[in-house]
Amino acid sequence: MTQPKFHFSILGRDRETEQRWIAEIRTFQRGLGGALGATPTPAGEILSNLILIDAARPGWQHWLESVDPSGKSFVLVLDEEDGLPSGSEVQRVSDLLVHPFRVPELLSVVKHHHERVRADELLAEAVAAERDLVDANATLERILQAKTPKRYSGIKGLQIMSKHLSGLKPGGDYFDVFESDKKDFVNFLLVDSSSYGVSAAILGMILSCSARMANDHQVTTSQWVRNIYEELRLTLGDQGHFSMFFGRLNRRDFSLHYQLFGSVEGFVVDQAGDSRHLERNGEAISNRHAPSESEEKVLKLQPKDRLILLSDGFVKGVGGEFHLDRVFRERLEREPFALVNELAFLIKSRLNEGETFPGEDCSAIVIDVEKRVLRLAPTG
């Protein structure tokens, strides 16, 4: 790594001392090439980023308080016969150096200076990266909220509410609800991706074929999941993976045909408040664990049943399934809006002071089957 450019400034007890120290350091520089930087100068002429301060100079402490410390290293120089400075004085400087100068000690001072400069640069980069990430997450959340409304209206027989909180972990969630043209089927999708690339690929693919997914009843949910995987094989590579729920609700008999993979969680809460897990088809989908065209899972929903789909960010963020079960029961008699807001509150209440976003994306879809649900008449 190329060393940053620098030179010494010297603040001696008097002009004569400054010139003597400059001459000594020049002698070392001729033997070491560029290891000791450029030719030293008196601090009164050029104030560099590496400054030697003579401990015998009266009032050096006040002079130090008047200088902007940004990007600078202050080295207090003591004579061999001098005692150690006070603790408060040591805290004001970056290093201590003994005069007469010795090459190893000068090189050590230079090395420490480089390390401080690099540490400051890395800190500034980290702060800027965190700020950019916060801005990007806020933008992503606005985009997702614009694309997926919080409340899905106009779907007869169902009350549907969703919630999304953007997280810091790379990757992302995508969820959607879409009806068939004849209103006889409702599709539910929730995907949790391992990287931004996988998430973007899924989003692009779903947006391009959601209408076909909604209306092609001849293709089973397991075949759809397999088709999605085949489209994403190249994007997944060796490390990529995604968890997903894809379900199709038949509004003629309110049977839910679905596929559930990976860390996405599904729950059904009945009107008595008892909750149960949806059965899982397998682990997260990847090139090492490709989904097979397995038999569809089927769940018959009853009036007043509540279907809850959660990405693992919500499950872990609220403290696990025990806490979820309690929240499900407490919000049983209230509409889905109250449940998703309570889940979001629990996530935010667990953030540390100063944190804006949870560790990973948190997405929830809550679907209530209305009490007097109207089933469509059978056809054929």
| CATH for 173 | 3.60.40.10
Q: Are 157 and 167 in contact (CB under 8 A)?
A: no
Task: Say yes or no: 351 and 204 in one domain.
Answer: yes
Question: CA 221, CA 329: separation in Å to the nearest integer?
Answer: 30
Residue of 135, 152, 153, 218 lying closest to 189 (CA atoms): 152
Which token pair is 210?
């959601």
Q: Rounded to whole angstroms, what are the CA distances from 161 to 239, 330, 366, 370?
A: 33, 17, 5, 13
Residue 130 placed within a domain: no
Beta strands in the chain (DSSP E): 7-11, 38-42, 50-54, 73-79, 95-99, 151-152, 158-165, 172-179, 185-193, 241-250, 255-261, 265-269, 275-277, 285-286, 297-300, 306-310, 362-369
Q: What is the pLDDT of residues 2-60, one digit of tens each?
A: 444 567 888 888 999 889 888 888 888 776 666 666 667 888 777 888 889 888 888 88
Task: Say yes or no: 84 and 14 in one domain.
Answer: yes
* 234 CB-near residues (< 8 Å, 6+ apart): none
* 311 CB-near residues (< 8 Å, 6+ apart): 173, 190, 192, 243, 263, 264, 265, 361, 362, 363, 364
Provide the number of structural domains found in the chain: 2
Task: Say yes or no: 277 and 365 in one domain.
Answer: yes
Task: Say yes or no: 72 and 218 in one domain.
Answer: no
pLDDT on residue 314: 87
- The confidence band for 358, taking pLDDT boundaries of 50, 70 and 90, is confident
Beta strand 255-261 pairing with 297-300:
antiparallel
pLDDT on residue 243: 93
- Res. 153: pLDDT tops 60: yes
Task: Say yes or no: 103 and 162 in one domain.
Answer: no
Which token pair is 321?
């399934």
Residue with more model confidence, 141 or 200: 200
Q: Print the domain residue range for 268.
A: 148-369
Question: CA 319, CA 325: separation in Å to the nearest integer?
Answer: 11
The sign one gets for the Cα dihedral 362, 340, 326, 253 is negative
DSSP 283-295: S-EESSSPPP-PP
Residue 128 placed within a domain: no
pLDDT on residue 278: 93
DSSP 296: P
From 89, 123, 157, the end of a domain falls on 123
Q: What is the pLDDT of residues 238-258, one digit of tens each?
A: 889 999 999 999 988 899 999
Which token pair is 135?
């801005």
Residue 115 placed within a domain: yes
The sign one gets for the Cα dihedral 40, 42, 48, 51 is positive
pLDDT on residue 2: 43
DSSP 34: G
Beta strands in 328-376 (DSSP E): 362-369
Question: CA 197, CA 154: separation in Å to the nearest integer?
Answer: 33
Task: Say yes or no: 93 and 153 in one domain.
Answer: no
For residue 19, the domain's CATH number is 3.40.50.2300
Task: Say yes or no: 308 and 210 in one domain.
Answer: yes
pTM score, two decimals? 0.60
- Res. 298: pLDDT tops 70: yes
- Res. 146: pLDDT tops 60: no
Task: Say yes or no: 113 and 155 in one domain.
Answer: no
pLDDT on residue 376: 52
Taking CA 84 as the corner, what is the angle to CA 119 and CA 117, rounded to the nearest 5 degrees? 10
Residue 137 placed within a domain: no
Task: Say yes or no: 224 and 265 in one domain.
Answer: yes
Q: Are 301 and 373 in contact (CB under 8 A)?
A: no
Task: Say yes or no: 274 and 192 in one domain.
Answer: yes
Counting runs of H as helices and runs of E as strands, what totals does the chain give?
A: 9, 17
